[in-house]
Each structure stands twice: as structure tokens, then as C-alpha cells.
Structure 1
């Protein structure tokens, strides 16, 4: 997502410096703090050590920039709250964790951006600057012309909160084939063996394994709908807009960010349970796939995301200016 934002900002004429690994592909000015992505470097045992180097390098050069934008959770808070350059942090993860409360009680003035309004609920005390939804480049995923969809799709991790068992039941009750493109993490292996594996043997289920970015268009674009029966407060749910980019509607449970992302009756259906999800499958014919794509372009392209972030940067600078004026007048 950082790459999509960076590319869109550069395309819109902004001067962007990206602090990232040396193997990053970017149109911005790249400042490499480590030769390759940490998750791909087999020599790395402590991923926080390179992050500390990154933060120190940004601190040393902070005066070169109008705004600093972080995407590494709360790690910059203490260091950058003590310097004058305006900064903000986009919070990408779940926030309903008790250990986060003292962090945001301590750093109440640090400006943060949410990726959905629902994500904010556990931390009302945080200094929320704006909500900016994720966005994708318009050419990354496109509808398949003259498609004849033949199945429901599930794309995501095999874990209890993602609801693959519910997706299998929904497809079966709707009389539809379900294709499953899913990753099985070590932490979820026992859940897979005990709960999911027996369901995979059902005749209407096809497990195709984990897929890459290049395979998503064919997988999502040929589906009647993406089934997204989550059971946790998903902060955003990128797969929903990936499906929309392909013109594929989404049937999603009313949890977390879902009602913010899915326009009910336009880009999909927001449902409460498995029974209403089965009923929604029967109504998919009422959703023109071209309208689903239009909804994506209007709200969830990387161009829209970049424009919304620029507006957020401008608001941050205005707030900083007002703060400086108050301090000058007070003295």
C-alpha cells in the first residue's frame, strides 16, 4: 500500500522520498536503510534493529521535509513527538488490543490516520486526523470482458476469524461451487486440520492454494462474487476492493469496516448471517459488474487515496501553523 501511495503522489507532481529497503521499486527518491526487504533476508533475526536505524536516519534528515508520513505503527511516536517537523502515522492493524491503551493515553497529541472509521472505535482518545481508505492503481486489476462467472470465491487466510467454514456452508446452501485461494499459516494449522480440512472434501469445494498478485484477476474476475464472511473487526479488508476492481461484487458480513467499503446493493451485499448471505447469492444478478467497477474507481483507486492524503497533509500543516502562532502570541 505504501508503494501504491508513493507512486500516485509522484504521478500527481509531489516530491517524495521513500525510506525503504534497497530492493524497492519506486519512482520516488529511494533512501535504502537495508539492502533487501526484511522478510526476505534470511540473516535477519531481529527485525526491530533495522527499524531503529531507519528512524534515526529519518530523524537526522527531518528538516529536509514538509511532512513525515510513517506506516510502522506507534514506533515513531516518542522520538518524533520531540521534534518540530509535522508528522503523521497511518495505523494499518487492529486496535482492539488492551496493551495499546496506555500507548495512546501517553501519546494523545500524536496525529494518526485510520483506514476506516470503525478501526477507531477502541481508541477514542487518539488524535485522529482523518480516515483515508486504501486504494489500488486502476490498471492493477481489471474486469474480464464478456465474463461468464461460474463460482463463488474465497480469498484470504485459513483462520477462524476469516470464516472459510461459513463460506463453504453458504456456497453449499446456495447450490454454488466455491473456489478457495487461501494461505495456511503455522499458527492456524491445527484449526485447518480439525475444522476446515474435512469441509474441503465436499464436492462443491475446490482448494487451489495460495495465489500471487498475477493470478488474482483471473480468480476474482471469473467469480460470481467474493464471499467475505468475517467474524472480527477487520480494519479494512483489501480483498474487497480487489474484487470490486475486477467488477466482482462482494457478499460480506456486517463486521468492522465492511459497511464503509461495500455500498449495499451497488458493489455487493452487506449481510448479518449465513442465511442472509445465501439469499444475497440469489440476488447477484441485480448488480451490474460495470457498476461495481465504477464504485471502485470512484472511491478506492490509488489516485483517490493520494488526493485524500494530500488533503490530510495540508490539514496537518494548518494545525501546525496554528499551534506555532498560539505559542508566539503566548510569549
Structure 2
């Protein structure tokens, strides 16, 4: 099968450090290649892949200080995808839904995975207008926000089996990994660690729109908690794997309807149990008492820290292998691709010259 994967241009695929969507695109792309498919990845030029790479920008937009208007770059990428659409059996979009008005111009079927939270006031009118656009949800919790959209499947994320470093022995610290956002509740993580009497390591990215929140709300907490909290900033590569492997538990004290929570399965892959608040996709991902504990408040989270030794790290890893590996994710998507291809009616405005285009970087 000839498959195009279209990634956002904010981060490389895979990302240097933070970037859940780009990380999943990488796992899916490489798994599809390993299964013998002809895959083209539309992404940044500094991406790393065994697929054919078509670069939309030389580097990740969020790491290029010259870039202000990211939409202009994504529109150029979309133009390149449309022109090449006759080269593919299916196109898989992971981007913000700028492409929906143009999906009818494609010479092949397309599918869109919605990676973020869905808001009825924003996405409801959008999905009503483009009700023919096939969608994939990353959790039933995410899908429940917009139950009448054109969902073709719910497909949970997956990781490569060798992506994380498994450790049978947990360490002496709690871990928070993610992005500095109010709804991720770093303040709760600090309170849980303080009351449980354990050190807390925080590996968190601060994006431009959250710098004021970080400075005004989080920095004072970090300064007041220096005796037991270590803020590491954005962490990637082997250092990130080591953080997961040697943590006693990952704390996931969210205060929003989390669409999935990739860090939870990264922890499971490391053998590290998760203590997560009962919001969004958490009950779909965590098996209470098997891969961690699901809690409803800080008191329960503190008790879960004390009880965390009851979770078998080997069983935690086994659960990951059975439910959240990249090959399972790829096969689930392949089933969706085949259904789309079988039911596809050719678009009337497909570009007849697309097949003759080169597959190099986009031209300015």
C-alpha cells in the first residue's frame, strides 16, 4: 500500500524532546515501513525516518526563531500534498484541520486523526460543515466530546517495543513529564510529592503561550520546593528514557479531559506505574492495580504513592506490550485505510499531473 503520513511542522518527527503527536507519527510511520508498505512522510526537513521524506520546512517551526506565522508554512505543505495525491492509495493527516476544505480535491481517500481535545463550540460547526471527512479518535473519551462526528475508529496510541528502557527496580523519586499548562497541574504533583515525602523530578516544556503562566504561577512553587523538587526543563533522548525507567511512579494529576496521555504508556513501557486522576482517557489506558492507580483527589494520590509497591513492574511492562505496541497501532490503522480505499469515489478535481512531480523539498 502507498501511504502518505502528513505531520504538523511545529516539531521534527520524531521530536527532539516534547511532542506527543510527532512521536506517535514516527512510531506509526516506522511500523508501517517495517510491515512492508511504501510510506511517504510529509514533515520537517530535520525529521528522521526510513520512509520517503518530503520536507515542508528545513527545521521545526517552534525551534526557528525567525518564524512567526506557522499557518503559512502549513498551507504550503498542504498544497504539496494535494499535488501529489495521485501517487498514494491513502493520505493520513495528523495536522490541525486546515486541510478539510481541500480534502475533496485529493485524488485518493484521506483520514484525519484528531490528536487534541475536541471542543463542541469550535469543532461542532466544523464537523457539521465537513461531515464527509473521515476521522479517527485516539480514545473513546475524546470521541465522546463529539459523538456524532464521522468517526471511523478509535485507535489507541502505540510505541515501538524498544523505545523505552525497562527497569525491574523503581527509584526513589516521583516523576512528572509533559508540558507546562494549567490543566496538567504541576502544582498538584508538587503537593503530592511533599505530602508523600518523596523527591519529585519535573521534565516539562514551556511553550511560548505558557511562559507567563510558568513565570507567575509555577516558578514561585519551584522556588519554595527546592528541597524536594528538581525542575529539569525539556528532556529528550536517553536522559528521558532513564528518567522514566528509574522513577518510583509517574504522577499524572490532570485537571482536564485528556485525549490520551502518551506519557502514561511510556511509563508503562519502562515498568513504571502511573498514578493518574480520573479524567479523559485515563480509565481507558490505566488498569487500576495493574499498571498503576486511578485516583480522584490528592489524598488518594498520596495514598497511592504509599501503596505503589503493590504494582508489579514486570506486569506493568507486559500490559504495555499487549495493548500499546506500535505494530498493533499500525495494523489498526491499516484496517481503516483498507475500508476507505474500498469505499472511495474519485474526487472530480484531482490533479492529473501530480504523478509526475518530484518528491523533494517544497519549493518556495
> TM-score, length-normalised on structure 1?
0.90
Contact 2:165 2:242 in 1 (8 A): no
User: 1:54-103: CA deviations, max 9, x gaps?
Assistant: 22222222222111111112122111124452110111111125222211
Aligned position for 1:99:
122
Contact 1:165 1:196 in 2 (8 A): yes
CA distance in 2, matches of 1:158, 1:23: 25
Q: How does 1:250-289 map to 2 (within 5 A)?
A: 250-289=274-313
**Partner SS for 1:217:** helix
* Aligned: 1:26 with 2:46: no
Larger RCO: 1 or 2 (CA < 8 Å, sep 6+): 2
CA distance in 2, matches of 1:43, 1:52: 18
Contact 1:20 1:33 in 2 (8 A): yes
Say if 1:15 and 1:169 are closer, same or farther in 2 by CA, change over 3 A: same
* Aligned: 1:165 with 2:187: yes
* Aligned: 1:51 with 2:70: no
Q: How does 1:1-331 map to 2 (within 5 A)?
A: 1-83=24-106, 85-96=108-119, 98-144=121-167, 147-200=169-222, 201-202=224-225, 203-320=227-344
**Partner SS for 1:129:** strand
1:134: how far off? Answer: 1.6
Say if 1:43 and 1:116 are closer, same or farther in 2 by CA, change over 3 A: same
The alignment yields a C-alpha RMSD, in angstroms, of 2.0
**Partner SS for 1:68:** strand
Say if 1:315 and 1:277 are closer, same or farther in 2 by CA, change over 3 A: same
User: 1:127-186: CA deviations, max 9, x gaps?
Assistant: 001111122211121213x53410111112233211111111112222222222223344
Say if 1:188 and 1:66 are closer, same or farther in 2 by CA, change over 3 A: closer
CA distance in 1, matches of 2:47, 2:180: 29
Gaps of 5+ in 1: 322-331
CA distance in 2, matches of 1:248, 1:154: 12
Say if 1:112 and 1:205 are closer, same or farther in 2 by CA, change over 3 A: same
Gaps of 5+ in 2: 1-23, 346-364
CA distance in 2, matches of 1:83, 1:187: 34
1:53: how far off? Answer: 2.4
**Partner SS for 2:344:** helix
User: 1:177-204: CA deviations, max 9, x gaps?
Assistant: 2222223344434434444334322333
